[in-house]
Amino acid sequence: MKINSKKAGIITLVVSALLIGLVLFTAIRGYGANYSGSITDIKLGLDLRGGVSITYQVTGETPDAQDMSDTITKLRDRAYDYSTEANVYQEGTNRITIDIPGESDATEVLAELGRPGSLVFCTDSSKIADSTVLDGNDIKDAQPAVQDNNYVVVLTFTDEGQQKFSDVTKELAGTGKPLYIIYDGSVLMSPTCKEQITSPSCIIEGQFTYDYASMLASYIRIGALPVQLEELRSEVVGATLGTRAITTSVIATLIGLAIIVVLMILVYRLPGAAASIALIFYTGLIVVLLAAFNQEITLTLPGIAGVILSIGMAVDANVIIFSRIREEIGAGSGVEKAIDTGFSKALSAIIDGNVTTLIAALVLFIFGTGPVQGFAVTLALGIVLSMFTSLVVTRLLIKAFYAVGLQDEKLYGKSRTDKVVDFLSRRNIFFCASGAVVLIGVVFMIVHGALSYPLNYSLDFIGGTSTSVNFNENRTVEQLENEVKPLVEEVIGSTDVTLTPVMGSNEVIIKTQVLSQETRAALYEMLEKQFKVDDSSITFENITATISAEMARSAILSVILAAIAMLIYIWIRFRDIRFAGASILALVHDVFVVLAGYAVFRWTVGNTFIACMLTLVGYSINATIVIFDRIRENLSLMGSQADLKEVVNLSITQTLGRSIYTSLTTFIMVASLFILGVSSIRDFALPLMVGILVGAYSSVCLAGALWYTFRTKFAPKKKD
């Protein structure tokens, strides 16, 4: 990447300025006649924008728990077609509610979902009950598709359904007799079978338009339920947090970004200025791409926090590069050579750290569900963009600055020869301190578990009570947050409260933990006394968790698989399983220490908990890789006879500045969010702040010490 002449440098800076300006303009205003691609096109979640809430009721007899669980699982899969942040939960004994963020037309959503009813496949339409051979439980999925330029419907069967379908098509093959597909008593189709079908899927052909094929597939999917449902109510609900949450998040981002820009320039001078420009470009790109992929990514409040966190993490690669440039200048290299060498030497650490996190994101996306997948997409997007801006944009800017005459080494800084800190001599203290914190967390979880729950689970995990209240006047989200919510929290003795206004009415849905009869009576009395609510109009239902046991298991399994995948990658790249083992142990330590914080301080474990722990996984492993990369390099430079303790201490000392500044910039972004954000975002930001500090501590104090312990305790035996 050569920019040798002053003219080339000026052209590069002008083009860069125009490109960055274009991206920022697009992020703020959009492009084209419809102003697409701006921040207003980002699809927001139910907590920020509101959406559609649909409640179904089971017809006939009260279903058993297993049928309701199966139905919720299937409806959740369908709701995720609209948004990975959709919530599906049970109300009472026979109702299921679906909350879909970002939608505003309940009628359209109902039409696309299909009207819930019963689905059967039978051989005689006049004797449905006697001739039914398959029902909705035998259907795994149904989707519209294109085959030979015609629209068709592809059916996928369960294992049992495949066998049933094979048997009936064998019986009907070549007879000309139809197989009736009947939905809610009406014949949808009556295809004939040319031959026996033994595969797990089949194709329904006809003179379909795309709309009809989609509708037919939708009816089959929605009919493939263990129970028959009817719509009880559908309504458009408002945001649970209001515009204040978005406004404060944007302000927090700008303040955090400004602090980081000042810090980078003060510490790293001209390269810091280049990195700051690239960081602003990165922020604009994130906004544009979130808007461009608004069908795939729904941004909730934790998502906003994740994006803000990624801005802080985007500085990391730049810090690694600038530290290398300073080292080269300190070693006597000229500025131009130092720039090239610095980028070259930093490359392996940047690639290994980011690829490791990308692997984690890929595993989370493949094996995770719902919010976990949404997080994985956002994480991967941030990683790719940060690598591009640091390795391409920052480098172009620094080379251009040098080409136009900014060549004095004082503008770039020079690394001082710091005294090597003997971290390893204190490793037993670090091990004992970490073990003590983890043990305290385990004890607290055991004690709390004996009394109720090991952690302070929110209604997202354990369910609660949904109370519907009709106020005498319409109340804004801000009024609900400032006037109603504090009083509700005081009455029930918990901050785990969500208030959702129903658009076009004075109704507000208050979701809380499960309320006893006495607490519920006290809540009714408060609402009547403080807000003149007619308590006879208040209704309540117990609701199940929005985060199912299956989703929780999926999240845990995803993290475990991600850890295994990262371990394998590190093992391959460093050619030493002891590097991999040490990095994963440091990562597990971080997770358990933050869990201890949740247990001791009773932080609420809600839907942001999963995002917090996943963010910690990606952040922590990246910091450890940087130190291990320097250990690997120093081992190569110092030879096989080098003192391992000296190598580890030197490597940690050399990367200490990077560890401090990266943690500081990330901490600043999250701290600004904690200080300025609404109460719900603070529940996310506080554990994350602790996680950032713990991740920095484990990388510096534990990871290298663990590798050294493994290397000395499990060294290969020397041959005689």
Banded pLDDT at 207 (limits 50, 70, 90): confident
Under 8 Å CB-to-CB from 32, ≥6 apart: which residues?
none
Write the DSSP string, 21-46. HHHHHHHHH-BTTTTBTSGGGSPB-T
In the sheet that holds 51-58, the strands lie side by side as 229-237, 51-58, 95-101, 87-91, 539-543, 464-470, 507-512, 498-501
Please compute Rg for the chain using Cα positions: 29
In the sheet that holds 186-189, the strands lie side by side as 132-135, 119-122, 180-183, 186-189
Residue identified by tokens 């930093």 is: 346
Q: Which two tokens stand for residue 369?
A: 């569900």
- Percent of the chain residues topping a pLDDT of 70: 90
Residue identified by tokens 């944009």 is: 393
- In this prediction, residue 720 carries a pLDDT of 44
Give whole-number Cα distances, 560 to 84, 114, 441, in Å: 21, 37, 21
Q: What is the dihedral of CA 365, 369, 373, 376, to 10 degrees?
A: -60
Residue 594 clears pLDDT 90, i.e. is over it? yes
How would you class 220 by CB atoms within 10 Å of its CB: exposed for 0-12, middle for 13-18, buried for 19 or more? buried
CB 62 within 8 A of CB 93: yes
Residue 404 clears pLDDT 90, i.e. is over it? yes
- In this prediction, residue 2 carries a pLDDT of 64
Average pLDDT, the chain: 84
Buried b (16+ CB within 10 A) or exposed e, 447-460: ebeeeeebbbbbbb
Which strand (E) or helix (H) includes residue 182? strand 180-183
What's the rounded mean pLDDT across residues 516-527?
Answer: 92
- In this prediction, residue 244 carries a pLDDT of 67
Strand partners, 499: 510
Residue 1 clears pLDDT 70, i.e. is over it? no
Q: Which two tokens stand for residue 436?
A: 């003590």
Q: Which two tokens stand for residue 306?
A: 């994740």
What's the rounded mean pLDDT across residues 91-100?
Answer: 86
Does residue 426 or residue 204 have the better pLDDT? Answer: 426
- Percent of the chain residues topping a pLDDT of 90: 28
- In this prediction, residue 417 carries a pLDDT of 63
What's the rounded mean pLDDT across residues 523-535?
Answer: 91
How would you class 518 by CB atoms within 10 Å of its CB: exposed for 0-12, middle for 13-18, buried for 19 or more? exposed
Strand partners, 374: none
Express each pLDDT in 566-577 by its tens digit.
889 889 988 889
What's the rounded mean pLDDT across residues 381-394?
Answer: 88
pTM of the model: 0.76
Banded pLDDT at 224 (limits 50, 70, 90): low
Residue 700 DSSP one-character state? I
How do beta strands 539-543 and 464-470 pair?
antiparallel
Under 8 Å CB-to-CB from 376, ≥6 apart: which residues?
361, 362, 364, 365, 368, 614
Distance CA 615, CA 310 (A): 9
Q: What is the largest CA-CA distance in the chain?
A: 93
Does residue 650 or residue 43 have the better pLDDT? Answer: 650
- In this prediction, residue 717 carries a pLDDT of 54
Residue 311 clears pLDDT 70, i.e. is over it? yes
What's the rounded mean pLDDT across residues 447-461?
Answer: 87
Single-letter residue type at 479: Q
How would you class 171 by CB atoms within 10 Å of its CB: exposed for 0-12, middle for 13-18, buried for 19 or more? middle
Residue 240 clears pLDDT 90, i.e. is over it? no
The backbone region for 547, taken as left when phi is positive above 0, alpha when psi lies in -120 to 50, beta otherwise, is beta
Strand partners, 635: none
Distance CA 373, CA 367 (A): 8
Residue 196: how many CB atoms within 10 A of its CB? Answer: 15
- In this prediction, residue 477 carries a pLDDT of 76
Banded pLDDT at 513 (limits 50, 70, 90): confident
Give whole-number Cα distances, 285 to 282, 290, 314, in Å: 5, 8, 12
Write the DSSP string, 86-140. -EEEEETTTEEEEEEET---HHHHHHHH-----EEEES-TTSHHHHEEEEGGGEE
Q: Is the dihedral of CA 399, 401, 406, 411 positive or negative?
A: negative
What's the rounded mean pLDDT across residues 96-116?
Answer: 73
How do beta strands 95-101 and 51-58 pair?
antiparallel
Distance CA 37, CA 441 (A): 45
Terminal-residue alpha carbon distance, the chain: 51
C-alpha triplet 628, 634, 635: angle, nearest 5°: 90
- In this prediction, residue 164 carries a pLDDT of 92
Express each pLDDT in 42-77 by its tens digit.
777 666 667 888 888 888 788 888 788 878 877 887
Residue 28 clears pLDDT 70, i.e. is over it? yes
Least confident range from 93-107, 155-169, 473-487: namely 93-107
Under 8 Å CB-to-CB from 205, ≥6 apart: which residues?
147, 150, 152, 191
Instruction: Kindly tell me the number of DSSP H helices and DSSP E strands found in the chain.
Output: 24, 17
Write the DSSP string, 518-579. HHHHHHHHHHHHHH---GGG-EEEEE--SS-HHHHHHHHHHHHHHHHHHHHHHHHHHT-HHH
Residue 473 clears pLDDT 70, i.e. is over it? yes
In a 13 Å sphere around the CA of 18, the CA atoms on its Cβ side amount to: 6
**Full set of structural domains in the chain with CATH:** 6-29+241-411 (1.20.1640.10), 51-237 (3.30.70.3400), 424-441+548-713 (1.20.1640.10), 464-543 (3.30.70.3400)
Express each pLDDT in 133-165 by its tens digit.
988 888 888 888 888 888 888 989 999 999 999
Least confident range from 248-257, 449-458, 552-561: namely 552-561
